[in-house]
Structure 1
Amino acid sequence: MFNTLVSLMGSAIDSADIITFLEQHGFKYPKKPYISNRSTEISYWIENKKLGIDLLFNAQPYLAAYPLVQSNKKGIFVPRLASAKWYNNKSSTTFPAQVDFNATFEHLNTSLGAPTLKSSEISPIWLNDDGSESFYRWRIPVDKQKYISWGPEFTDEQTVKDIVLGLDYRNPLFHLYNEMDYCTLEQFMKEQTFYKTSTLMFLQWALDRKLIAGTVHTAARDWVQSQHKGYVTEEDFAAEHAFIKAYIKNLSGHDVLYGRDLALTFLKDPAQQNNYRGEAATAVLDAIPIDQEHYNIASALLDRRLKEYQEHKFAKSGK
């Protein structure tokens, strides 16, 4: 089962191999297998409670190796098998390194090495009340070229909660444009929005601080154009990943958020600051140009927040 699913990862829901696998193992083929760009969801699960396995099909895994698959109808996309999750081993699957649902933390640590991720690395809010970790996760590469990995999650109840096999997870930090809506980089570049301004300023700061991986570009616009994709992920950065993710996604546990931070820095009217997403504030923010004067302000803010994160992870920072 494990090796079969490895070979199927990234396959389209309507491929012959996937259809055969679902039929052979008692999974129900979905009545609506495709995903519309009008939907708020880009993925869905197919459950098999008898086997204790759920399969995730995703139309946009945010991996360049697995681009969107257009169906024969405009606006309709074909999801791929992105993940398999075992909640128990009713399927009698043999996992690598003799891992099973009875494995102890010591066995996992010895067989797989140190955990790839612990709860506090996502956000301090995931810690237990006594400060202990609520879970540990391992993600071990199975096929690096195909971005496939696997691993268990071990919880504070001293049990293996689940075992996952799937495409490497990517969560965009910035959405430049929606490929499922057939938007383009050219459209994004023509926009005059604060979201675009704040995104390009952050990327320019990251380029200036040598925080973007393997690029010869020195201007944010040029770097974005070289990517040929509508999103930016953590993997696009070469360093300071924890700060970048915590600041952009507000994961520090101290409510310090880049977009709000920058908006309040630029807004001068207290009423607009109190309602920085309101119509009046939005009009002011959307009109801010990407020029040296405003970039210098954003750059100074980012330098200060990086220093704070390095020193105390925003624990002593003000909003």
Structure 2
Amino acid sequence: MLLPNLRHAVCSGYRTTGRTALQNPRTPLRQWLLQRGQNTVVAESGAARTPTAVSVPNAATDRTVGRWLVGCSGLVLGAVVLGGVTRLTESGLSMVDWHLVKEMKPPRSQAEWEAEFSKYQQFPEFKIMNRDMTLTEFKFIFYMEWGHRMWGRLVGLAYILPTVYFWKKGYFNRSMKTRVLGLCGFVFFQVLLLINTLTNSLPYITPVYIYFIYIYYILKYGLYLFSRRLHLPRRAKIAITCLTAMAYTQVVLGISTLLLYVPTPLAATHQSGSVALLTFAIWVLAELRKVAK
């Protein structure tokens, strides 16, 4: 009797529990399962809307770095042109002091200009070449050299500061990091070379130097003739042709500058042409690297 009664009680309890669950769908277990399912759906939809992390460097960062390098190249071109005009107007030695921060502010009052002019009068350039120079003429050459130095500082800051930023952001890969550090080294080397050139200028350039120019143009013309016989891509042939044309343009500009007694605009154009010549040479190297060996 006891066993059948126990079985009947258990079965009755199961049926009662089932009817209660059907009548009251908000049981704790059902509510927990329903809430868990809703949370899962919300999490999946949120993950679908959230953009995935983009790895760097990528195509977008490469374009940013490329535009930055092109901008730095433009600043370097401006420095070359401004430096050439500064040299052609014989303004390069007008600032006799070398201070990284102090010289960023030019003289303002009459007393400051006279003090700066008196320091310039102690140097051989004034004693030998510019003994009749007035204060107004000195201001012109001073501002030329001051503008050149400020432009040089701008070039350095425009290169070094973005380099640090891009490095921290991970915009550079391993090979690009090596190249960027190499360019930073060239920036500092250029500063040291400029200081050494101005403080230890040669009295004249050795006549042997002209033979290097002859060899350079012979090799340039030989490269052009040799490229006509090779099956090079069209872009490579165009680059070599532009390089050769620019080289002979430089010859014409240089001879014209000498025959016309070095007019400043023509001489500055000739000096700027050297940057264009270097640009075409880099283009030739870039195109030749794409040629199948």
Greater relative contact order (Cα 8 A, min sep 6): structure 1 or 2? 2
Q: Which has the higher strand share?
A: 1
Q: Which has the higher helix share?
A: 2
Is this a same-fold pair by TM over 0.5?
no
TM-score (norm 1): 0.24
